[in-house]
Structure 1
């Protein structure tokens, strides 16, 4: 259902449930949350890439989960969101290392939120985003997708996408700033792994500090940001990686930040 492997600093999560079009069922979300907790505690993982097997990245929540429950469906769904969905969103956003989603196919419903909660999205040119919550199921967007869209493209555009259920092509998503790169068919994963390998050549501590700095900038006032920036910069100048960078600069060689 969920596989994880790590090599040379790059962690790779693969969603593998083609019969359900990689739906984000409760059991799938629980499995992914467990893997993310493992990744978070593994200091050898410098970059995390998330992708899926099959023709669909993620078809969203499994409708069977929601319709087969005989009692209070709202109570069941609310409980599931509190137990699994929302912690999964929070954990993914809180990961200290950069995260990249390789969109191998459509991201639908909660799959949109899963993709957009990553730091970077590399999308197959034939992939698309689709938000069927309101027009097809008469429910509100979940997995943080509404929150993400408002911040990425503004309230009016986000509301329009949620209400009309329009499919957003990879090319249009890139124009809107939702996707960092549109890839040739079948190349999203290899392109994402290439970026991951490039990031791994940087000093790991500098990468982590930079992600933390920019994440905090989302809700900081400028004076608080500058104070935090000063703290992290002082730590950086006192680091082994900075010593290696200066030695490499003086020696006219490429710095070797392995283990730093």
Structure 2
């Protein structure tokens, strides 16, 4: 487990945490620098995610940014050659493998639905962070931008090379990677990269309403959906049909199915217990 580093009690946290009626909100909190993925911010975010994972009172999570940006990726201003004989490349790869990559894996394996509320620029690794959510919403003024190859000569990371072609197709992923263009939120919706965009002033209200809807689902709904779509990517159609029938074999025996049927017959909304 990654522990949160010691911090001056009077210092501003790198990640803000709030919990209200089962909905947790994590806000990246380096607004003056447009919320780069500083080491300390990543450590705090990881610690919060692990706490939320273990808190059975939390039914859904919203991830957003403070100020006018969601996240602009790596904190390039803080990158320095290491003093222990390693190269900067060695150090960066080790940090990614020990800290940054597990952030994406943790978000994708949370036992609750995750909503990204992209309030402004999502650039570089910030795009990977936004797309690690189950539902990605964006403010109308927000955009997605991959400067890796055009500006730095490095490949997109934090899952961008996986998430973008899976969501929007390889042709669009190649265009985003090479053409040095910002992709506006409206176009991102048209491409299927994100779920929706809303007027800037309505973003957090829409994100919360979405999180509330997700929180009312059966507690295991998001993990079942993730697993089913992941299986579909490696299965033939007959194999996936078999997978679906086997999952129904188990899930129909659970109390949630009985509650769902009762609610349908009684013309009421189902009431599912928490996790």
With normalisation by structure 1, the TM-score equals 0.91
Shift, 1:243, TM fit: 2.2
Over 3 Å counting, the alpha-carbon distance change for 1:29 and 1:221 in structure 2 is farther
Residues 206 and 75 of structure 1, relative CA distance in 2, 3 Å threshold: closer
RMSD: 2.0
Counterparts of 2:51 and 2:172 in 1: how far apart (Å)?
Answer: 37
Deviation at 1:223, TM superposition (A): 4.0
Residue 245 of structure 1 and its aligned partner are, at CA, apart by 2.4
Structure-to-structure mapping, 1:20-31, within 5 angstroms: 20-31=33-44
- 1:100 lines up with 2:115 in the alignment: yes
Q: Secondary structure at the match of 1:140?
A: coil
Say whether the 8 Å CA contact 2:56–2:274 is kept in structure 1. no
The 5-angstrom pairing of residues 84-99 of structure 1 reads 84-99=99-114
Verify the 8 A CA contact 2:59 2:274 in the aligned structure 1.
no
1:236 counterpart (251, 262, 269): 251
Q: 1:256 to 1:151 in 2, by over 3 A?
A: closer
Matches within 5 A, 1:2-151: 2-67=15-80, 69=82, 72-151=87-166
Where do 5+ consecutive residues of structure 1 fail to align?
none
Looking at structure 2, the residues matched to 8 and 227 of structure 1 have their Cα atoms a distance apart, in angstroms, of 38
Q: Residue 253 of structure 1: SS of its match in structure 2?
A: coil
Query: Residues 155 and 214 of structure 1: is their aligned pair in 2 closer, same or farther, counting only changes over 3 Å?
Result: closer
Match status 1:247 vs 2:262: yes
Asked if 2 retains the 8 angstrom alpha-carbon contact of 1:26 and 1:65, the reply is: no
Distance in 2 between residues matched to 1:151 and 1:24, nearest whole Å: 24
Query: How many Å apart are 1:69 and its aligned residue?
Result: 4.1
Q: CA deviation at 1:128?
A: 0.4
The alignment of Structure 1 onto Structure 2 pairs a total of residues equal to 260
Deviation at 1:26, TM superposition (A): 1.8
Residues 141-180 of structure 1 correspond to what in structure 2 (within 5 A)?
A: 141-180=156-195
- Asked if structure 2 preserves the Cα contact closer than 8 Å seen for 1:98 and 1:211, the reply is no
CA separation of 1:39/1:221 partners in 2, compared to 1, >3 Å: closer, same or farther? farther
TM-score with structure 2 setting the length: 0.86
- 2:116–2:137: 8 Å Cα contact kept in structure 1? yes
SS in structure 1 of the partner of residue 268 of structure 2: coil
Cα distance in 2 for partners of 1:69, 1:119 equals: 36
Deviation at 1:132, TM superposition (A): 1.0
- The gaps in structure 2 that reach 5 residues or longer are 1-13
| Per-residue deviation, 1:138 | 1.9
